[in-house]
Chains A and B, each alone.
Chain A
Amino acid sequence: MSRLRWAILGAGAVGCLWGTHLKRFAGVTPTLLLRRKGVDGQRIATPSPSWLFSHVDVKLETSEGDSWWSSLPAQYCDGQPGRDRFDVVLVTTKSYEAEQALSLARPMMAPGARVVLLTNGALAAHEALKRSHGDVSFLLGSTTHGSLRMAPLHVRHTGRGQTWFGSLASSSYFESLYHFEHSVDPPGAAPAQGNGHGRRPQEQQQPRSEQLEDAAVFASHLYTTDSPALGPPAVPSEWADVLGVLGASQLGAEWDPMMQRRLWIKLAVNCAINPSTALARVPNGTLQINAGLAVIHKVCEEVAAVMTSLGMPITSADLEREVFKVIPHLLSIYLSVLCVSCRSPRTRRKTTARCCKTCRMGVAPRPT
């Protein structure tokens, strides 16, 4: 059994899903750390103030149709730190809340505590957190498990999926190996163009000897075998204990050595789908039969150019394939932002005005 003290920052659908699974299957009892106020200044709905430093019962409806209760310790993250501080903090807040939430919780973290970021927009959250918490080691996660918050501390596991974890530090080693193994142009790499799109990545401009050196460094860090070609990548020792616990939770926890690439592809899919559906006020899955197709194509083209410039070569066609793989699974799901602001005359007026202004600036062609 792990001796690490775990905390979960954010008691929404993802936080409760992982909290209940960690306790039931991994033998870890994480503490739920809660904020007193939401991002808009609203008080978080809580059953009673008396549950501070106490336990809460979290109800989980499983994807198989049954349900169970887990009793988890809970406390406000800006409360008094307890005697024992947390070694691992799993962050499951919205990405834009993560920085403030972690700052509040910092006094409760032990020296050398590690943070697992399991938020949508993990890349953006990680960038912000590294600025304010540069001394903390971060593990980034991405999950395809579906979960829905039915009520405070009541969650439904709507679909089983898989979860991947990785650190951005290790991604660069694997990107180096990838370029080394594929010599010049990896399959599907965008050809270099003179207009700034499809720019040749920096790693490919390196001499081959440097690529070899990078690959050797990566191999020495991440593989227990002599040859990187044998077997799956080993988890870096720094994260082995944490990943062991996450893996025991039965929510899947694979180590992904190319986590940065995975998160960027997810980002591309979200960029292609979410704004278009919100603006068109249609369910995500109907984009294929709407004018969103052209937007998807343009967004994928632009994200592919950014990824390629970051040293993760990919074509817009590859990204589009990922988008169209996801769309059918999203049918009838509306974005939360859309649900709140749907059919607002004020939004329509301001959106139209801003759109026209942007077009006049020459940023984008006027829609027809």
Chain B
Amino acid sequence: MITGYVLSQAEKLGVPVPTIQLLDSLMSLIEWDRVQRLSSPVE
């Protein structure tokens, strides 16, 4: 994910990126939900 790459670089450099961290968590949840929906049978 896009935010994930920035997070990993920021972590290596010790630069705090709280907003991006929050967005990354939220996007992970949305992506998780998307995968669940794709793998669920259509009602």
Using a CB–CB distance below 8 Å, which chain A residues touch chain B? 40, 42, 96, 120-121, 123-124, 127, 196-197, 199, 267, 270-271, 274-276, 278-279, 295, 298-299, 302-303, 305-306, 309-310, 337-338, 340-341, 344, 346-347, 350-351, 354-355, 358, 363-364
Q: How far is A196 from B10 in the complex, measured between Cα atoms in Å?
A: 11
B42 to chain A, nearest CB (A): 13
The 9 residue pairs across chains A and B that have the minimum distance between CB atoms: A124-B5, A275-B23, A298-B19, A302-B17, A364-B22, A347-B33, A309-B13, A340-B34, A270-B2
Q: Is the CB of B5 within 8 A of A310?
A: no
Q: A350-B33, A351-B29 are in contact. Are A123 and B19 (CB under 8 A)?
A: no
Q: Is the CB of A271 within 8 A of B2?
A: yes
Q: How far is A212 from B39 in the complex, measured between Cα atoms in Å?
A: 57
A191 to chain B, nearest CB (A): 16
Q: Is the CB of A121 within 8 A of B18?
A: no
Give the size range of B's interface with the partner.
20 to 34
Using a CB–CB distance below 8 Å, which chain B residues touch chain A? 1-6, 9-10, 13-27, 29-39
Q: Is the CB of B19 within 8 A of A347?
A: no
With both beta carbons as reference points, the residue of chain A lying nearest to B11 in the complex is identified as: A306
Q: A127-B5, A340-B38, A351-B29 are in contact. Are A299 and B16 (CB under 8 A)?
A: no
Residues of B with C-beta under 8 A to A278: 27, 30
Q: Number of contacts between A and B (CB, 8 Å)?
A: 116
A8 to chain B, nearest CB (A): 23
Q: Which of B5, B19, B25, B35 has the most CB of A within 10 A?
A: B19
